[in-house]
Amino acid sequence: MIGLLGKKVGMTRIFDPQGKCWAVSVIEVGPCFVSQIKTKDSDNYDAIQLGFKKTRQKLNTKPLQGHLEKAGIPPVKILKEVRDFDGADKLKPGDEIKVDIFSEGDVVAVSGVSKGKGFAGVVKRHGFGGGPKTHGQSDRYRAPGSIGQSSSPSRIFKGIRMAGRMGGKNVTVKNIRVEKVDAKNNLLILRGAVPGANGGTVFIKKA
């Protein structure tokens, strides 16, 4: 597997050679720094640890400062392990991985935290149709209706769709095409939308 951390910049549009317009997401990918390499001999599994988003040293804890200094990389805000990274045997702590590991036409999966919508009702959160708008039910337009049973089993089953906090969850969108790679500016242009708000951290991996 090949994957890198990035920051969602925003959305725009591009035109293909046939003149068709496509909505695209712009991701600032990397540069990511290799902060640790784990092997089956030392950790019972193969993985590399990536550092992303440079920060000030004093904002990191003392143990993290020592960990990053040992690897010889600048202070970073985010660390993430990537298991079974392709070509990990050629990497060493301190190496820098850039967006050029992707190429135009690749198909990737993008993971991120979805936008938080706050407390939402069942119509917005689950797409319910609401209650009838006649026969005197003037206050049931956006109500969920019955959520339980009668005297048996006399309780509400777990998992019933009801109102509650919406968004703010880990979401993965698969089969996204890479439209363009701008290695000079560390930008990745992906067709369609990706999870999260502008400025949010995402993880892009080759499908």
- pLDDT, tens digit, for every residue of 151-172? 888 888 999 999 999 999 999 9
Cis status of the peptide bond prior to 17, with omega within 30 of 0: no
Express each pLDDT in 167-199 by its tens digit.
999 999 999 999 999 889 999 999 999 999 999
**What do you get for the CA distance between the two ends of the chain, in Å?**
8
* Domains of the chain from N-terminus onward: 3-118+162-206 (2.40.30.10), 119-146 (no CATH)
Express each pLDDT in 96-143 by its tens digit.
888 888 888 889 999 999 999 999 999 999 999 988 888 888 888 899
Cβ proximity of 52 and 76 under 8 Å: yes
Residue 15 has pLDDT above 80, yes or no: yes
Express each pLDDT in 59-95 by its tens digit.
988 999 998 888 888 899 999 988 888 877 788 888 8
Cβ proximity of 32 and 64 under 8 Å: no
Strand duo 32-38 + 201-206: pairing: unpaired
- Please state the pTM of the whole predicted model: 0.83
pLDDT score at 13: 94
pLDDT score at 168: 93
Taken as a whole, the chain contains a residue count of 207
Determine which of 4-8, 112-116, 131-135, 202-206 has the lowest per-residue pLDDT on average. Answer: 131-135
Identify any residues that bridge with 97 across adjacent strands, giving them in sequence order.
32
Q: What would the DSSP string read from start to end of 154-186?
A: -SPPTT---SEEE--SEEEEEEEEEEEEETTTT
Express each pLDDT in 21-32 by its tens digit.
999 999 999 789
User: Which tokens belong to 123?
Assistant: 């119509």
